[in-house]
Structure 1
Amino acid sequence: MIEVVRIPVLEDNYIWLAHDDVSGETVVIDPAEAAPVLAEADRRGWRIGQIWNTHWHGDHIGGNAAIKAATGCLVTGPAAEAAKIPTLDRMVGEGDVVHIGAVAAHVLEVPAHTAGHIAYYLPEAGIAFVGDTLFAMGCGRLFEGTPAQMWTNMQRLAALPSETIVYCAHEYTQANGRYARVAEPDNQAVIDRMREVDALRAQGQATVPTTIALELATNPFMRADSVETLARRRAEKDIFRG
């Protein structure tokens, strides 16, 4: 129903193209840069109609202006961060719904990494674009929020159907997994997953997207049993050099 294409840019960012075969519409999620996006869409013969931003950081909105100028697309992003995203056409928050073709994407407010961070959940397609809130085996740094907010985010995302495919915006899995082995040294699922991750990275392959089920089994932040545990793990991960 929705085809999602990964575009690696910068050092470890992923831009996502989501394409609806029925309507022919394409959405760009968190474009750090414009040129690779325009080139990939052109190569596939896809028409870019929208950009969806999850938060204001430059490595998520840096391509907005040039893509908008080239395609005339509509830019959607968090209302709470509108002052920091000058290219926004449509400001959204919790409970709002946007569409790619006829497929609905529900906006979830997931603040902590930034104060107004949002995610886009497409239940019909079984996918979610989570920006820098949930990573494979990790979560975003708490630049503008609190451990309690991130705890709430983890619980909300954990409640999505386990088969939900999760598209995060960075290739952080290997570093996150090294910490996960320290946080939960007896978790065999973490050990097994890291064998796969290390093998993929050795071949230069991506380790995302992930799934809610996989994160429930191996992500020390989603698996934290309290706000206090998440706060301690986040503080440890911030200085972890393993």
Structure 2
Amino acid sequence: MRLQPLPAFEDNYIWTLSDADGHAVVVDPGEAGPVLAAADAGLRPAALLLTHHHDDHIGGVDALLARWPGLPVFAPDDARISQATARVGDGDTVETGGWRLEVLAVPGHTRSHIAFHGHGHLFSGDALFSLGCGRMFEGTAPQMLDSLDRMAALPPGTLVCCGHEYSRANAAFARAVDPDNAALRRREQEILDMRSISRPTLPVALASELACNPFLRVDEAAVRAAVERHAGTVLADRVDVFAALRRWKDGFRA
């Protein structure tokens, strides 16, 4: 299968996973234009997969359904996504054409956020980014940390396909938290090299994120110590470490 990120807006990616004939599942089409252009080049949408309700992830759905009436739309159980033809939740399996993807509930960024895992890929929306995670607009720190733990437990070779090109900014924050992490330094240089020639920094292997992403490393002594220094207090448990880390990132300026 062929994976392709379609750039959208300033920093979004619409992900497509296509078979040899060009049939594809399309993940989080925030705008229709990039998908329509890909269709002109041979892409044949077979289904839409939506991770959450934010408009930059679903804004193109209506135009795509106008072009391809009857296209299946798999989405979380959230009334804010009115175009869904199938509501899916934790433990469900999306089977369409030659694709079979497991649904994971990953609330935190939004209350109904889901991710899709299959064929060696994780479509994480705005829950997990390279070297970062989503802001908690509707969820709590325990929810978000549990969601990250669930994704971190997937096979380390899984390719993380997230919804935004945030890697360079996230790397700057990760280095502030974990400056002695050699794997992180290598990943940051890789990101800088890729972006210098306008290449996507994604997908990225989950193994790399486990070694570099501070939000997946709240149990590491170096990360915890850095967060406690920044917070100016001893933190009771890993949830408090995560919550303080997320607050630090919210106010961080490189």
Residue in 2 that maps onto 1:201 = 195
Which of 180, 184, 191 is equivalent to 2:178?
Answer: 184
Q: Does 1:216 align with 2:210?
A: yes
Q: 1:110 aligned to 93, 106, 110, which one?
A: 106
TM-score, normalising length from structure 2? 0.90
C-alpha distance in 2 between matches for 1:132 and 1:38: 23
Offset of 1:88 from its aligned partner? 1.1
Question: What is the match of residue 227 of structure 2?
Answer: none
**Deviation at residue 41 of structure 1 after TM alignment:** 2.0
Partner of 1:99: 95
Kindly provide the CA deviation profile for residues 95-134 of structure 1, in whole angstroms up to 9, marking residues without a partner as x. 1111242331011000000000000010xx2111010000
SS where residue 196 of structure 1 aligns?
helix
Alignment map for 1:135-146 (pairs within 5 Å): 135-146=129-140
Q: Give the aligned partner of residue 70 of structure 1.
A: 67
Q: Matches of residues 1-242 of structure 1 in structure 2 within 5 Å?
A: 2-21=1-20, 25-43=23-41, 45-72=42-69, 73-79=71-77, 81=78, 83-122=79-118, 125-225=119-219, 226-242=238-254
CA offsets per residue over residues 171-216 of structure 1, 9 Å max, x none?
0001101000011111111111111111211222211111110000
Distance 1:143 1:107 in 2: 21
- Look up the SS of the partner of 1:33 in the other structure: coil
Contact 1:25 1:100 in 2 (8 A): no
Which blocks of at least 5 consecutive residues in structure 2 are unaligned? 220-237
Query: 1:49·1:71 contact (CA, 8 Å) conserved in 2?
Result: no
Please identify the structure whose Cα radius of gyration is greater: 2
Alignment partners' CA distance in 2, 1:159 and 1:108 = 12
Q: Deviations over 1:66-112 (max 9, x none)?
A: 00110121111001x1x101111111101111124233101100000
Runs of at least 5 residues in structure 1 that lack an aligned partner in the other structure: none
CA root-mean-square deviation: 1.2
Quick one: which amino acid aligns to residue 102 of structure 1? G
- Who is 2:230 aligned against? none
Query: Conserved in 1, the CA contact under 8 Å of 2:46 and 2:97?
Result: no
Return structure 1 stretches of 4+ with deviation > 3 angstroms: none
Aligned length: 235
